[in-house]
Chain A
């Protein structure tokens, strides 16, 4: 937890952590939720969300190191406790106009890639009713990395972290000095 997070962020982080602890304390089979907790945030005036369980960390603004020549959807990398985390320009990814307030970073739980989304506050928690959780029939097209869901009467864009990867430039298999291939 970043020491200079805003109070609301710290509050949200506490919620997320507690929720995760709660889930972890029960065996998988008995988890019976009223809903799936979502972490909501704003971007370009619209509300978006990620499943809270997929968020590993929320950080306030950090200096981002731009990588020259990278896809514009990639803002660069930040140093998180000595490791490099790739930061996405979330607005660009979602085809939104740039949002200068999007300075908070949501570090996601993803296999292999350390990824963070640039988002704007206020950060909040919401519950997505599992009964209304869309299954095979989703709104929006299959290739999009987000889909519309209704939460407490309003429509928000739920971002699927796994699909973010598909929206990113595909790695080429050229020879790199350090062989950037991650081992299986």
Chain B
């Protein structure tokens, strides 16, 4: 926001009517409000008090916008909103969705009011103020006060003093540690800012930054349960505000002593320190405030557990580091291949030396037959060559061995660097488990279930990105366990179990995977109910169901549309259920399994890869593009003979050791444009990548496999979310960007393309079978001489379809029987290039190869056509000839 204070000169214009916004103002206002909306929604998800602080600052920034300041009522509303947020942060009251609703409504109306003055609904302002007043009263009285509670229900249960206070066996030191980390990072900055203010820096930004820091720390302190610190920081903040009001920020320097007092307490908490802070808070708030002198001697002596040993680094920076490391790994691979070349040169040298020895032997034998001076001359020459060669050989050999040693050490350094960089991304799973206690507490309370949480293997490490991505599925399972799994206390008593339910979260590393187990000792899943539900939901035929094993029945809970609850509860089971968990985990290249015993409990096992950022992948060529397929999903890369390809139930399959695997062309799956030139290699064998994902197989036909390597996966922007086949992108050594395919989506897409025919797989049918009886059409563009083309095309088994105008081509080309489009192109006519682009830009016609017939042999024409997306170009004069026939065959044979 710091750069947001650009005063539009237009603002000052006296003739701007009071109500109107400049476009710059509106843009900024919209952007700020959009950000706020997003943050509120995120807040609703994570409910962190520290983000409340940030939001409050943002609201303040919004209030400073000139557009808002011109309208007093809006400034007031924003002040109320801020107070609401501050109250929540202070009271650790969390944030309910009804609060969010109200705020979002207010924000939308603020924007409207700014645009069209007078549209603010006064009723909304009243509602906000009432809520604010109610909260103020709660805050002022004790948390248990019920009588004055006029609020939405959420506040009653969230006004607990400490989030983990009532839970046994749970260690909140983690949050405390986080707070300390944040505190030591920011306290130095706070001190510096205070010093600057003391020196008389009259800078709104300094004051703003100071307030922001203090505010955020305050939120974090409450979150960590350090109320005495939080209250002090609140007083600190309040004092700053008062100083600002009387425009005496220079006096802020006197607050420095306070920072020391807090620092001492955060380092080594003690009852005396707490008391000192309490006194200091009161002093700060009293009307005749005087600077407190810090009385802290123990700072130097006490060791600090955190500062100096850890720093916080944004994950994006680590991503970059990893990117560079990945490039380095690839550079190393290139160096190794250079080294191979060098080695063969050295070998060549040895061969030359051996030859030379022969020459010498021959020369020695022949010497006597030659005239003396010739012999002497030759021997002299041979000698000098031998010496020179010997020196060179020695030099090259020693150079070679040094280089090899260096390369080896560089290789091991690179590998170590990679490991270290990877390890910096690893975080203990306790960061993942940290939010569980709160959920258990809230849910358990609302459902009158007492839950004992047991955490195991919290130190097990996982890539930060994996942790972020698995959080939702994990929490879903936790909610499920409490909601569906565990019984109420009375039910448990009746079943002869301890009244307190037990939920265990355990993490363990298994090779390159981490196993997360979420188990409860609740009622378990009844396989009989699963069977009935599955049959009822149409997931299973009643006749089949009797043959399923119990474990197979349980797997059904992951199917879409499955839920064992008859009525959806507010917590879980909204019809999406475990399918979402299954999908999310599969998207992480992981697996989820379930075990359950009726009456004894249920256990979910999530298996996850340690990291996602580096993926070993197979680089393949499809059409004119390249892709990376993650090796984890690749069962095998095989070359198959045409005879192994057949048809089963209308789709092309690969016969493989007694099983039939569906076969799809990657070019077709990803819609890649066909290659411009045919590869030189023999077409007798085809390359198939066998994929296995989620117990489904798919053979993917690729044009060429280009080797396997480690790749650093970069994330694509959110706008590509709908492109499910792409899980990211990677940069090859050449700088070329290549899409990393999502193997699971690929298999799914393959399964959905039911009925792909032989040709659509891109397979050369004539190698095995007589020409297909299927209709194959060629669309001829306007102005093409049909008769000239007829013979060649019909000889290739193609049917002609003439058109008279461009729009007709566009329509005809959509027919799936069309295997080729021929268009006439001339320098004078620009329409053909435009038509090519439209055909290539249209999803329905993009797949069809397109050959241009040029009226003259011009490079410009050829280039323009090919650049626009045409697959081939041929000159009019060659039409009907051998090369034309070959080209048409080439494009139509592939089918796609």
Chain A positions within 8 Å of B, measured between CB atoms, are 28-29, 31-33, 63, 65-72, 74, 76-79, 82, 84, 86, 92, 97-98, 100, 111, 113-114, 130, 133-136, 138, 160, 162, 168-169, 171-172, 174-184
Contacts and interface: CB of A to CB of B under 8 A. Distances in A.
A182 to B, nearest CB: 7
A178 B727 contact: yes
A100 B473 contact: no
Interface in B688-731: 713-729, 731
A44 B232 CA distance: 63
A65 B588 CA distance: 24
B31 A111 contact: yes
A28 B7 contact: yes
Given A63-B736, A169-B721, A136 B26 contact: yes
A52 B735 CA distance: 28
A111 B5 CA distance: 16
A8 B160 CA distance: 66
B670 A74 contact: no
Given A68-B670, A82-B731, A169-B719, A177 B834 contact: no
Contacts of A169: 719, 721-722
B84 interface: no
Nearest to A103: B867
Contacts of A133: 10, 22-23
Nearest to B28: A162
A138 B23 contact: yes
Given A79-B737, A179-B465, A184-B39, 15 more contacts: A65-B739, A68-B670, A69-B725, A70-B720, A77-B737, A82-B323, A100-B867, A114-B717, A133-B23, A175-B469, A177-B587, A177-B612, A178-B713, A179-B468, A180-B715
19 contacts: A31-B9, A63-B736, A65-B737, A65-B739, A66-B672, A68-B672, A71-B723, A84-B714, A86-B717, A86-B719, A92-B841, A98-B868, A111-B31, A138-B23, A169-B722, A177-B742, A180-B716, A183-B314, A183-B315
B625 interface: yes
Nearest to B473: A175
Interface string B300-315: 0000000000000011
Interface string B28-44: 00110000001100100
Nearest to A65: B737
Which applies to chain A's interface (DSSP): helix, strand, loop or mixed?
Answer: loop
A184 B42 contact: yes
A134 B23 contact: yes
B721 A135 contact: no
Query: Which one of B26, B315, B721 has the greatest number of beta carbons of chain A within 10 Å?
Result: B721
Contact of A79 (B316, B588, B735): B735
Nearest to B467: A179
A44 B141 CA distance: 68
Contact of B837 (A79, A98, A162): A98
A61 to B, nearest CB: 10
B7 A69 contact: no
Contacts of B742: 177
B155 to A, nearest CB: 25
A63 B734 CA distance: 12
Contacts of B716: 67, 77, 84, 86, 180
B6 A67 contact: no
A136 B24 CA distance: 10
B221 to A, nearest CB: 21
Interface string B173-214: 000000000000000000000000000000000000000000
A100 B833 contact: yes
Nearest to B589: A177
B722 A78 contact: no
B486 interface: no
B625 A177 contact: no
A58 B583 CA distance: 41
Contacts, number: 172
Nearest to B30: A162
B834 A172 contact: no
Given A111-B31, A162-B27, A184-B39, A69 B723 contact: yes
Interface residues of B, number: 78
A133 B7 CA distance: 15
B226 interface: no
A77 B718 CA distance: 12
B843 interface: yes
CB-CB nearest 9 A-B residue pairs: A171-B718, A175-B584, A65-B737, A98-B837, A68-B670, A70-B723, A69-B723, A179-B469, A179-B468
A72 B841 contact: yes
Contacts of B42: 184
A131 B369 CA distance: 104
B671 interface: yes
A28 B6 contact: yes
A54 B576 CA distance: 43
B9 A130 contact: yes
Contact of B729 (A63, A65, A138, A177): A65
A114 B31 CA distance: 17
A181 B41 CA distance: 13
Contacts of B6: 28, 31
Interface in B381-423: none
Contacts of A86: 716-717, 719-720
A137 B21 CA distance: 9
Contacts of A184: 38-39, 42, 51, 54
Contacts of A74: 719-720
A170 to B, nearest CB: 9
A92 B840 CA distance: 13
Given A68-B726, A100-B864, A171-B719, A177 B588 contact: yes
Contact of B739 (A68, A179, A181): A68
Contacts of B39: 184
B837 A78 contact: no
B719 A113 contact: yes
Given A171-B719, A175-B580, A175-B583, A67 B726 contact: yes
B672 A135 contact: no
B296 interface: no
Contacts of A76: 737
B843 A72 contact: yes
A32 B738 CA distance: 46
Contacts of B588: 177
B115 interface: yes
Nearest to B3: A28
B722 A28 contact: no
B754 interface: no
A176 B837 contact: no
B516 to A, nearest CB: 15
Contact of B838 (A63, A98, A181): A98
B597 interface: no
Contacts of A136: 20-21, 23, 26, 115
A93 B42 CA distance: 30
Interface string B570-589: 00000000001001100111
Contacts of A100: 833, 837, 864, 867-868
B586 to A, nearest CB: 9
Interface string B310-347: 00001110001001100100000000000000000000
Contact of A68 (B54, B671, B736): B671
Query: Which one of B6, B16, B469, B722 has the greatest number of beta carbons of chain A within 10 Å?
Result: B722
Given A98-B837, A133-B23, A177-B588, A172 B737 contact: no
A52 to B, nearest CB: 15
B760 interface: no
Contacts of B16: 135
Contacts of B714: 84
A24 B563 CA distance: 60
Contacts of A182: 718
Contacts of B115: 136
A68 B723 contact: yes
Contacts of B323: 82
A119 to B, nearest CB: 16
B788 to A, nearest CB: 28
